[in-house]
């Protein structure tokens, strides 16, 4: 008997209960410029995600910190953003706060106190954390093409991605299997991400090239803590 689509698309609760921390080495033109840490704390179908980094580029130190709340929406069949707060000190510094409503179709963004509102007719507006969680889920489901509307500080951008194949790469955890995902429909840049089924379908490497920019992120360490599964003992 076929199950309803909403049941099939509902991510397993096993994905929702583990607390995860991932640390990445950041590079600019193959030079180490800092590290980036991302922590996910799940409770039921909602996650608090904290990201922070300190980067040194051209004798300028920049500190980045973001707090996001994402959740699973049965109506949209997608991870959605509830809110995020971003603080950047240094290059391109500023403070951004955003809240989302109407199942992700509306957002209000405050940048250094200046507020703007955004709307979408059908496709929800997401932040980078919700997009990352949704890409991971789609890869687990075997999907190969996806697109998202990302809410940035002062605009909404529509991004398209495509799976380009599977690769085995060297990593800090030895040789691992990966799924190569590339951004498409943007001829002025090359953005490639590698997600590994061997490491929880997480992002393990990313490269971004555009004009003089040549950036790379490589996973250095990981920590995944899951609660023990309950065992039901049947009595005779």
DSSP notation for 6-22: HHHHSPPGGGTS-EEEE
| CA–CA gap between residue 88 and residue 16 (Å, rounded) | 29
| CA–CA gap between residue 224 and residue 137 (Å, rounded) | 17
Q: What pTM did the predictor assign? A: 0.89
Nearest to 196 by CA among 183, 181, 177: 177
Rounded to the nearest integer, the mean pLDDT of the chain is 90
| CA–CA gap between residue 194 and residue 177 (Å, rounded) | 9
Architecture per CATH, 16-222: Clam (2.50)
Residue pLDDT, tens place only, 6-41: 333 445 554 557 899 999 999 999 999 999 999 999
Question: Are the CB atoms for 6 and 77 separated by under 8 Å?
Answer: yes
- Interacting residues of 96 by C-beta distance below 8 A, sequence separation 6+: 84, 85, 86, 87, 109, 110, 111, 112, 153
* Main-chain phi, psi angles of 16, to 5 degrees: -95, -10
Domain ranges of the chain: 16-222
Residue pLDDT, tens place only, 163-182: 999 999 999 999 999 999 99
Residue pLDDT, tens place only, 190-235: 999 999 999 999 999 999 999 989 999 999 999 999 877 654 444 4
């Amino acid at each position: 008997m076929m199950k309803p689509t909403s049941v099939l698309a509902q991510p397993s609760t096993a994905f929702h209960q583990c607390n995860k921390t991932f640390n990445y080495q950041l590079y600019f033109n193959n030079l180490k410029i800092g590290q980036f840490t991302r922590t996910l704390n799940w409770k039921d179908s909602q996650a608090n995600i904290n990201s922070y980094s300190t980067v040194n580029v051209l004798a300028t130190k920049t500190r980045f910190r973001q707090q996001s709340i994402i959740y699973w929406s049965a109506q949209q069949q997608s991870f959605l953003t509830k809110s995020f707060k971003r603080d950047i000190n240094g290059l391109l510094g500023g403070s951004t706060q955003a809240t989302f409503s109407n199942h992700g179709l509306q957002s209000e963004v405050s940048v250094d106190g200046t507020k703007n509102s955004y709307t979408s007719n059908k496709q929800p507006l997401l932040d980078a954390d919700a997009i990352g969680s949704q890409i991971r889920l789609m890869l687990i489901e075997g999907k190969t093409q996806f697109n998202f509307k990302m809410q940035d500080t002062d605009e909404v951008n529509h991004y398209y991605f495509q799976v380009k194949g599977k690769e085995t790469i060297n990593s800090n955890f030895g040789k691992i299997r990966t799924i190569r995902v590339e951004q498409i429909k943007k001829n002025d840049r090359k953005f490639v991400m590698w997600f590994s089924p061997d490491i929880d379908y997480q992002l393990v490497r990313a490269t971004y090239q555009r004009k003089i920019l040549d950036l790379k992120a490589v996973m250095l360490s990981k920590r995944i803590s899951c609660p023990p599964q309950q065992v039901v003992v049947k009595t005779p």
